Amino acid sequence: MLKGADYVVMEQEDSASQHGDMTSWDINDIKLPQDIRQIDWFQEWPDSYVKHIYSSEDKNAQRHHSSWAMRNTNNHNSRILKKSCLGVVVCSNNCSTMDGRKIYLRPAICDKARQKQQRKCCPNCNGPLHLLSCRGHGGYPVTNFWRHEGQFIFFQSKGAHDHPRPETKLEAEARRSIQKAQTAFSPSSPRLKRIQEVE
């Protein structure tokens, strides 16, 4: 009788051998495989030179979601969506929060907004912020490719991220809403003064 861990290993080996033929494709191939017996679980943090085949029903794959900060890049093939990594915004002082975490902010997608973001201060120590660009694909940013074909969404990543993971979109939104609430009720805020006058 197989033990639980042995069974999992065998199951993984079986899926790898079934999936082996399916990794010989390239995103630029004229024809991509359609005889696919097994699709992949969605990967939020794809890294290195990887390929995945997702169901066309997968909502994250439909949205071309990645927790890395990626932006659409010019691509001459209209059937393939190309996205490049923007890296991560870090504190130049390399400070840590009270719980020991480093500041790894999500870079803004738009060039102007990203420049403006770097002129702001670190939310933790008020030190200068600095963009750590991604150079994990031979000196260029890591690139992700997405292609919808029939019942499948093909994903291919080229390059390995050479920087820390930025905060996720949800974490960035939560941090911004906390900051807005703090500024709205800081002692010098006009809003707080109006509330105190009314009281």
What's the domain range around 157? 51-175
Helix (H, G, I), strand (E, B) or coil at 187: coil
pLDDT in tens, 131-189: 999 999 999 999 999 999 999 999 999 999 999 999 888 887 887 777 777 665 555 54
Could you tell me if residue 46 is inside a domain? no
37 located within any domain: no
Give me the residues paired with residue 85 across strands: 70
Q: Is 2 inside a domain boundary?
A: no
Whose tokens are 């199951």? That residue is: 11
In a domain, 122, yes or no: yes
Establish if 91 belongs to a structural domain: yes
Domain count, the chain: 1
Q: Is residue 151 part of a domain?
A: yes
34 pLDDT band (50/70/90 cuts)? confident
Q: Return the structure tokens found at 60.
A: 């994250």
Predicted TM-score of the model (pTM) = 0.74
Q: Within a domain: residue 100?
A: yes
